[in-house]
Each structure stands twice: as C-alpha cells, then as structure tokens.
Homo-oligomer: A and B are copies of this chain.
Amino acid sequence: VSVLSRNPETNVARDLGIQESTSEDVAKLSQAAELAVEEYSSRPLSWRAELLRTIADQLDADGPRLVALAREETALSVQRLENELRRTSFQFRFFADVVLDGSFLMASIDHARASPMGPLSDLRRARTPLGPVGVFGSSNFPFAFSVPGGDSASALAAGCPILIKAHPAHPATSHAAFQALERAAQLQSAPEGLLALLFGFRAGEALVDAPAVSAVGFTGSLAAGQALWRRANARDRPIPFYGELGAANPLVVTNAAAAERAVEIAKGLAGSVTLGAGQFCTKPGLLFVPADGNGDVLVSELSAALRQVPEMTMLSSEIADHFRTGTRALADHEAGRTILSDDDRGDANVRAALFEVTADAYLRSPRTVLRDECFGPAAIMIRYRTVAELHQALEATDPALTFSVFFAENDPDVARLMQDAPSKASRIIANEYPTGVGVSWSMQHGGPWPSTTVSWATSVGASAIERWLRPVTYQNCPDALLPDALRDTNPLQIPQRVDGIMHLGTELGVRG
C-alpha cells in the first residue's frame, strides 16, 4: 500500500512513492534498534548532547521546506507552524542541557558501612536506558508531538534508539523531518539502527508488539491510546505505554472574576478555544461560569467573539467529520442549549461551536457527550448557581490535562478550588488560558487517568526523560567495572548523592 499525502484545504491527495511498512520491516528495524542500544547508550553524555543539538540545527536548516510541507498537509497557519518548529528545535537543545546536567541519572553512592542490622555492602544506583522506544506521532502537532517531537527528543536524550510511527495526517512532513534527524545522525556518526520511521496502521500495532521494543510514547485519542495501552499490557513481556490522550479540560470562572472582568475573560477564551482550530489537547472544553448576570455577560461576549472567528480548516476532513459528529451530539442532547453551531459543510472547514448547560442538568447527565473531549473549536459552558453546585459539578468531571481558574484578588472561592485542583489535572493554571505548553524544567504535561495512561508521566519538559529509564544498583562492585556516573571520582561531574548527602557535581546544576 502506497502512502498518500492529502491537502485538507483542496482534498487533493498525492502519492509519496513510499510503501507502508510491513510487519517484517518492523521486526527488522526494531532488532536493529536493539543492536544499537549498547553502542548508543555507552557514548559520552557530551556526544549525546551534541547529537541532539545537531538535530536541532538540521531541523532549523530545513525550516522553510518543513513548514511548507506541513502547511500543505495540516492547513495550520505558516506563523503557527514556524513557531511550532522553533519550539521543536528548542526542545532538542533543551534536552541536550538536560543530558549534560546529569541529574536524570539519579546517581547515588552509599559506601560500605556498619548499620543496626550489621554491615551494609557498598551500594551504588543510577538510571539506565530501557532500550528501543516506539513513538506515535500525533495529528495536531506535525513537529512538536510528531517525528521530531518531545517523545523522540526525550527518548534519544535518555539513551534509547527510537522507532517512530508517522501520523497519516502528515506523512510528507514526517518523512522530511525524519530526513533531518537522519542527516544529523550521519553527521555525528551515530550508530546504525538508532532511528527508524514507519508508516501505516498495522505497522503501529506491530511496533507495540515487537519483542525488541521496550516502551512506547503516544499522543492521540482516548480510544486509540487505550486500545494500544491494552495491547502493550497483553504482550508476553508487557511494556510501559505512555499515552497522552487529551481531555475535556475544565476552566472555572469564579463569581468574583465574572463580576470583575467577564468581557476580558470571554475574549481570551474565544482565542484559546479556537487556537489552531481548537485542535490543542489543552483546549479548555468545559467552562464553568456563574449562572448570574455577570455570567450572562461572559456568555454573550464569548459567543459574539466566536461568531467573528473566520471558518477554520481542520487537519483533515475525517477529523472535521468527527468534530461535526461531536457537535451534533451536543446539539441533540436534551439537557443542553446550542448557542453557536458549525455550518455543517461536510469538508475540512468548520466554524466554532458553543453549548450551554445548567450545572444541575450536567449533574443529571453522567457519562454522556457532555463529559467527553470534543476535538476542535467547541466548548460547553456549565452554568452554576452556587459554589456548592460548582464543586459538585467539578467532582463529577473526569480528571484532565489542565485545570484553569480565573479569579479576582481576595477571591473567597479560590482557596478551596486550588486545594482540590491536584486531583483534577496535573497542570493547574491561575488566570491564564491552558493552550500552549512551555518546554521547561517545571512543565508537567499529562494528568490522572483517563487523560494519561500513566499518571506520573509527562510528555513535555525535562522530566519527560524519566519515562525511558530504570534504576540499577551495583553492589560491592570494583571501581573499574562501574558506570562512570557511579565512580567516586565523578568523572561526568554530575549531581551525586553520596552517603545520603546531595552533591551538585558542578558549580552550576545546569549548563544551559
């Protein structure tokens, strides 16, 4: 089967002259990746950082071509794509810093000593890479969460070869981005088998099944992600499956915030709900707004602002169809009221949609479309009459990636919202919109089930590297046989905990 690239604006497909990967391809490539593990993971950290920086340089060098291809395949704006690619190469440079910092190895040395239980042997612990990692590119971020995305960057940073399954919504972009990765690997004389690119649905299943694959990173829908998670668990040797599955992210406007700045919040919301045609996994989908007159102002400003947003082209006509199915189900739901609806054209173009439901009706409608993510430019407003009703409604909402609260100064309602917040999402946002996920040491992009399959995991930020590592302890091991991270002389100059006491290893914790 030939791989097709389709332009969602024109619906014209072109044959890329590439064949979908067979299960034999997956077997061969994953075995080659396994063979690359030892050589790749044993090269110096400085070399690994240099490889990541070279990848960033190559992505930058190919910028105009990559953006043009992605523009054709995704209909996302050139400005958005340029920004996404900038973020993508920044992410590789950031992980080069994370590698050089060395804390990700969690090196710890306990010298032999007496203890209340008798003599304790010399024990030393550091993290080691898991092995080949399967990466599933997303539809909505052709760079930052796809072939050159955070899963790829963090797995390479951890010392793991990668096998990437390209998303069918942008195969030409995926192929071109992979060429930049490959060129960097060649320039740095990386080991054979470090990188592989796969096309096709069955190749994705074979990737999760491949005995040589040690872990999987996935960004995509709840249905696909949970199915692949089950598949990873059903293997003879189950492997960790880190799925970032999106969410109907709640956003609360308190009574005081609505009284203070309903118009301002509504304008910002319109931008956040429609950013990238609403195709962000952090789009605020459930807006909890007071049922009073201030809330009415917010609703009418938001609907006015959304009405002015021009028609948007979604990533593909299939995704637009899915959006229309979702918004129709919302419109048909007896409990809700449609404020704005899509014009139902039937191609990849859609308009923003807005629905309203009372908190009371929301509470009486468990497990319905009112709770699910509607991927695209749509939001549901839940109108609450009392703070108690707000908390009940939040309690009845699935955990998500983000939980945003708009509040006023000295707001009587904010303390409890913030206290409950950690159970509702893994990123808690004060007076800002959730779309946009910064690459930094402190970012957490994930959340409790069902938004993520592994609740501690993040697919963005320095800690994304932790998913691809496991600790190993050496007992009574002569210095010459220890990994460099665990030598008393600390040749890598990394942070080490020695006999329980942290030592930074360098004057600065990071050389970024």
- Residues of A in contact with B (beta carbons under 8 Å apart): 38, 83, 86-87, 90, 97, 101, 103, 106, 108-110, 115-118, 120-121, 123-125, 128, 130-131, 230, 233, 237-240, 414-415, 418-419, 421-423, 426-432, 438-444, 448-450, 453-456, 458, 461-463, 469-478, 481, 495, 497, 499-504, 508-510, 512
Contacts and interface: CB of A to CB of B under 8 A. Distances in A.
A500 B441 contact: yes
Kindly report how many copies of this chain are found in the complex they form together: 2
Given A97-B500, A430-B478, A502-B103, A443 B473 contact: yes
B441 A110 contact: yes
Quick one: which of A239, A428, A462 has the most chain B CB within 10 A? A428
A449 B103 contact: no
A103 B456 CA distance: 16
9 A-B pairs with the lowest CB-CB distances in the bound complex, closest first: A502-B509, A444-B473, A123-B442, A125-B442, A456-B470, A500-B510, A108-B442, A110-B442, A429-B475
A438 B115 contact: yes
A456 B438 CA distance: 27
A125 B456 contact: no
B477 A121 contact: no
Contact of A38 (B419, B454, B461): B419
Contacts of A444: 125, 471-473
Nearest to A89: B116
A120 B456 contact: no
A87 B118 CA distance: 10
A323 to B, nearest CB: 27
A481 B415 contact: yes
A14 B323 CA distance: 65
A502 B97 CA distance: 13
Given A472-B427, A476-B432, A440 B123 contact: yes
Given A442-B125, A481-B418, A476 B120 contact: no
B120 A440 contact: yes
B504 A502 contact: yes
A230 to B, nearest CB: 8
Quick one: which of A108, A440, A469 has the most chain B CB within 10 A? A440
A118 B510 CA distance: 22
A115 B103 contact: no
Contacts of A418: 477, 481
A414 B120 CA distance: 23
Contacts of A90: 115-117
Given A440-B110, A502-B103, A508-B501, A475 B123 contact: no
